[in-house]
Chains A and B, each alone.
Chain A
Amino acid sequence: MAELDIGALLQAMGLAAEGVLQNKWPQVKSFATTEFQKIAQTVVSIGEGLASGEITQEQAPLLLDMQKNASRAVIAAVEGMTLIAAEQALNAALSAGKAIINNFVGLALIA
């Protein structure tokens, strides 16, 4: 039996993982950028409302707090979606490894 090419195996696993991450990361980044832009615009609006008198000194901190909470939610979503992408990448790598190992031994050793 020929030696298992560990280099080729690791390369295949790495490529499988990279493929998933390259596909998923732009979506996560786009989501985060859009949401933070909207939050920034709203913070500006709070300042403008305070200056014009439409928002009182009492209301402004509460409205700002809502934007802080919104920011935390966006960060949590980005963290969560990144974890999903990482999970998919690792599972793709493990799956690629499984295919090569089964091919090497000549039977479906790993289901």
Chain B
Amino acid sequence: MLRPPTSRLRLRSTLLLIVLLATAGCAVKWTPFYDETLDRDITSFQQSTEGFLTNLENLQAPACTYQQNVKFYQQQSVQLTVMRTRAVASPHPKQLLEMMDSLSKNLTDLQTLQQNAGSACLNATVIEIARKGFEPVFESLLAYELALKANQPPATAPSK
């Protein structure tokens, strides 16, 4: 037997109300939580990378060679591992990990550039373009961190 139209509408409204009641009290979470330590680590990583490139621009051989700067790459590699560990600890870290992968690959490319230069220094043009390879990655990470920070729920005032 067909239900009359008003009854079908009432049934649909009731079902929608049930769905809304079930979901309206919930909040969806598709993104990581803001991590202040990771945010600081990213800035620190940027500072050390920029410091290294600036230093490299002013060094003469052999101080500018890869052999004399292995420690920088080792330290950055360790720092990146620590940062990845923090990123993975948060839910939905996919985009953060992709940006960190880009950072890691650029570091490897810079390392290869310096290794291939042998006993010579990288010239100012190459260093500047290498710098321009890092800048969008850092800007992406920082823009994303700022967006995560702005997405935080408001802090509840502590009770007296």
What residues of chain A have their CB less than 8 Å away from a CB belonging to chain B?
3-4, 6, 9, 31, 35, 38-39, 42, 45-46, 49, 54-55, 58-59, 62-63, 65-67, 69-74, 76-77, 79-81, 83-84, 86-88, 90-91, 94-95, 97-98, 101, 109-111
- Contact (A76, B109) CB under 8 Å given A54-B125, A59-B116, A69-B137: no
> From residue B38, how far is it (CB to closest CB) to chain A in Å?
14
Contacts of A42 in B (CB 8 A): 129, 132-133
Shortest distance between the CB of B99 and any CB in chain A (Å): 5
**B29 adjacent to chain A (CB < 8 Å):** yes
Check: B90 CB closer than 8 A to any chain A CB: no
Closest 10 CB pairs of A and B: A66-B133, A80-B95, A77-B140, A76-B98, A73-B102, A70-B136, A54-B125, A98-B24, A69-B102, A73-B137
- Tell me whether B112 is interfacial, beta carbon within 8 Å: yes
Given A69-B106, A81-B144, A87-B151, CB of A45 within 8 Å of CB of B129: yes
A105 to B116, CA, bound (A): 73
Is B133 a contact partner of A49 (Cβ separation < 8 A)?
no
Identify which of residues 1-24 in chain B touch chain A, using a CB-to-CB cut-off of 8 Å: 10, 12-13, 16-17, 20-21, 23-24
How many residue pairs link A and B with beta carbons under 8 A? The number is 149
Is B85 located at the chain interface by the 8 A CB criterion? no
Q: Does B135 contact A (CB under 8 A)?
A: yes
B140 and A74 contact, CB distance less than 8 A: yes
A94 touches B102 (CB 8 A): no
What residues on A are CB-neighbors of B130 within 8 Å? 63, 66
A residues near B31, Cβ cutoff 8 Å: 80, 83-84, 87
- Bound-state Cα–Cα, A67 to B27, Å: 38
Residue ID in chain B nearest A90 by CB atoms: B28
A101 touches B144 (CB 8 A): no
Contact A73 B103 (CB under 8 A): yes
Residue numbers in B under 8 Å from A69 (CB-CB): 101-103, 105-106, 109, 133, 137
Q: Which of A9, A81, A94 contacts B23 (CB 8 A)?
A: A94
